[in-house]
Amino acid sequence: MSSGSTSSGLFSPLQLRSGQILRNRIAKAAMEEGMAGRAQLPDARLVALYRRWGAGGAGLLITGNVMVHAEALTGPGGIVLDADAPLEPFTAWAQAGKAAGAAMWMQISHPGRQVQAAMPGVVWGPSDVAVDMGRHSKRFGRPIAMTPAQIGATITRFATTALRAEQAGFDGVEVHAAHGYLLSQFLSPLVNTRTDEWGGSLENRARLLLEVVRAIRAVVSPSFAVAVKLNSADFQRGGFDADDAQQVIAMLAPLGVDLVELSGGSYESPAMAGRPTDGRTAAREAYFLELASELARTSPLPLMLTGGITRRETAEQVLANNVAVIGMGTALALTPDLPNRWRENLAASAALKPVTWSDKAAAAMAGMAMVRYQMRRLARGRNPAPGVGPAFALVSDQIVQRRALRGYRVWLATRKPRYAAIPAAAEL
């Protein structure tokens, strides 16, 4: 078993299957920055943000989700790396993150049905089952069930993005198959009601994820890391659960995967935002530790756990449960040098105000807006503002998104004719 015994501690190196060595067990986990510049490309803001995080002492930096399909973005500020994107901005981004010795991985994703209703482009899913968030459901587009040809084109797009990430100087990719995005939708029996080879049994529901990983490994170098972000559970009755996660990890093991990051939840059940709906995730920190600990006992792959970790004591507790890497998001948006502070036995410098709204979906959106507010400050060279209120952050975020949406509409309109004409097989 290679689930990553961690007796040497937080600041010991970790060698991965690909041969890549992480300098310590602390990762900056993916957070959606919503900070794309012109033409949905990274610009000076993301370069500055990741240079700051890289100098903060983490062994691994994982970007926010980079989109593999220009017509399918979670929101208008999404970064797109496809066959047509110039590589130079991505090279600058990678170099900034790696400047102080951290490894830099790109999280690559397709949103599937989790696309804002105002967005142009496509809303795809394994089936035509829409996002159900009660009175917030209208915020999302109505999905159409993907055809086999669209599924094949999507596999190709993931491989294209991974190959180009390596060409740009990234050290690896993380395939996003959690939080209710497309690959997670295929895994979920609640969302995937297909009756063909892509639906039904867990083996069929996992097929898209496995084919994506195979396609990526076929085009990148053996030394390039390939990771998967997977829900430990969806926290929805009848949905993807820990037993399913255990089986999927076993399916991934022979495919050259270096690391599996465990999280949980989706837009419909936002456990990853700290509002768990399962007793086993009720801790204020390390929301998914008990599930991860169960999975680590049998996992043939090293595991990374993300979700609410802010204190060194919690991080060490996670490692003591046979988890190989601890991931932090919000904590690093507020204390970007937290790994270095832990080395000096110092604590995080600040924490966000809790969002106590009774509307859990709105509270989750406000919480994410508060984190993006901190990232925008860091990207401008300013210090975090932990006292920001949820309502102010949410309104600010909506203003930023409206501006980004105008730019995305114009950009996409100039690309659509060409994009529609590219056969999937020609994209690699």
Mean pLDDT split into 10-residue runs, the chain, 428 residues: 53 97 98 97 98 98 98 96 97 98 98 94 95 84 96 98 98 95 95 97 98 98 98 71 92 98 68 44 62 91 92 94 95 97 92 89 91 97 96 97 96 69 38
The neighbour count for residue 337, using CB atoms within 10 Å, is 19
pLDDT of residue 286: 66
What tokens does 31 get? 């957070």
Q: Nearest-CA neighbor of 206 among 192, 186, 191?
A: 186
pLDDT at 266: 60
Instruction: Tell how strand 124-125 and strand 79-80 pair up.
Output: unpaired
Question: What per-residue confidence (pLDDT) applies to 415?
Answer: 84
3-state helix, strand, coil in the chain (%, to 5): 40, 10, 45
Residue 159: what pLDDT?
A: 98
Q: What is the pLDDT of residue 315?
A: 94
H/E stretch holding 400 reads helix 390-421
Question: Residue 103's beta-bridge partner residues?
Answer: 60
Kind plus residue range of the DSSP H or E element containing 21: strand 21-22
Structure tokens at 238: 């009848």
pTM score, whole prediction: 0.92
User: For 2, phi and psi rounded to 5 degrees?
Assistant: -120, 40
CA distance 97 to 28: 11
Task: State how far Cα 52 lies from the chain centre.
Answer: 20
CATH 3.20.20.70 fits domain 14-426: yes
The CA–CA distances, whole Å, from 109 to 73, 78, 101, 212, 307 equal 9, 10, 25, 11, 19
Q: Are strands 144-145 and 172-177 parallel, antiparallel or unpaired?
A: unpaired
DSSP code for 393? H
Query: Using CA atoms, how far apart are residues 105 and 405, in angstroms rounded to an integer?
Result: 27
Q: How far apart are CA 168 and CA 88, in angstroms?
A: 7
Residue 302 and residue 318: Cα distance in Å, rounded? 13
Domain residue spans of the chain: 14-426
Residue 317: how many other CB atoms lie within 10 Å: 18
Q: How confident is the model at residue 307, as a pLDDT?
A: 83
CA angle 202, 251, 6 (to 5 degrees): 125
